[in-house]
Amino acid sequence: MRLFALLLLAALSLPQRAAAAWPERPVTMIVPFAAGGPTDVVARIVGEHMSRTLGQQVVIENVAGAGGTTGITRAAQSAPDGYTIMMGHMGTHGAAPAVYPGLKYDPVKDFAPVGMAAGTPIVIVAKKAFPAKDLAEFVAYARKNGDKLNEGHAGVGSVSFTTCSLLNSVLGIKPTRVVYRGTGPALNDLVSGQIDYMCDQIVNLVPQIQAGTIRAYAVALPARSPALPDVPTTKEGGLPEYQVSAWNAVFAPKGTPREIVTRLNGALLQALADPATRKRLLDLGADLSDTASQSPEGLQKLVESEVARWSKVLKETGAAAPK
- Quote the CA–CA distance of 263 and 259 in Å, as a whole number: 6
The smaller minimum CB distance to ligand ASP, of residues 37 and 82, is found at 37
The residue from 22, 30, 38, 234 that contacts ligand ASP (CB under 6 A) is 38
Q: How far is the CB of 310 from ligand ASP (least distance, A)?
A: 13
Distance CA 321, CA 198 (A): 22
Site for ligand ASP in 185-214 (CB under 6 A): 201
Report how many helices (DSSP H) and strands (DSSP E) the chain contains, helices first: 12, 9
Binder to ligand ASP among 80, 88, 94, 182 (CB under 6 A)? 182
φ, ψ dihedrals at 215, nearest 5°: -100, 140
- What are the two backbone dihedrals, phi and then psi, of residue 112, each rounded to the nearest 5 degrees? -110, 100
Q: Are 291 and 118 in contact (CB under 8 A)?
A: no
Stretch that binds ligand ASP, among 38-46, 129-137, 219-227, 276-284 (CB under 6 A): 38-46
Smallest distance from ligand ASP to CB 245, Å = 13
Tell me how long the chain is: 323
From 50-58, 177-185, 251-259, 277-285, span contacting ligand ASP (CB under 6 A): 177-185
CA distance 152 to 124: 11
Smallest gap from Cβ 112 to ligand ASP, in A, equals 21
Shortest Å, Cβ 31 to ligand ASP = 7
33 is an interface residue for ligand ASP by CB under 6 A: yes
Type of residue numbered 101: P
- Please say which residue, 54 or 190, places its beta carbon nearer to ligand ASP: 190
Categorise residue 292: left if φ over 0, alpha if ψ from -120 to 50, beta otherwise.
alpha
CB of 322 to ligand ASP, least distance (A): 23
Considering only residues 47, 88, 91, 97, which one is a binding residue for ligand ASP as defined by CB under 6 A? 91
> Per CB under 6 A, which region of 30-38, 74-82, 254-262, 268-276 contacts ligand ASP?
30-38
**Core vs surface per residue 287-301: b (16+ CB within 10 A) or e:** beebeebbbbebbbe
Interaction pattern, residues 118-157, with ligand ASP; x per rule: CB under 6 A: ------------------------------------x---
- What H or E segment, with its residue span, contains residue 111? strand 111-127
Interface with ligand ASP includes 97 (CB under 6 A)? no
Q: Does 183 bind ligand ASP (CB under 6 A)?
A: yes
Using CB under 6 A, pick the residue from 135, 139, 159, 286 that binds ligand ASP: 159
Backbone angles phi, psi at 218, to 5 degrees: -170, 155
Q: What are phi and psi of 252, to 5 degrees?
A: -120, 160
Sequence-distant (6+) residues with CB within 8 A of 258 are none
Interface positions with ligand ASP (CB under 6 A): 33, 37-40, 89, 91, 154, 158-160, 182-184, 201
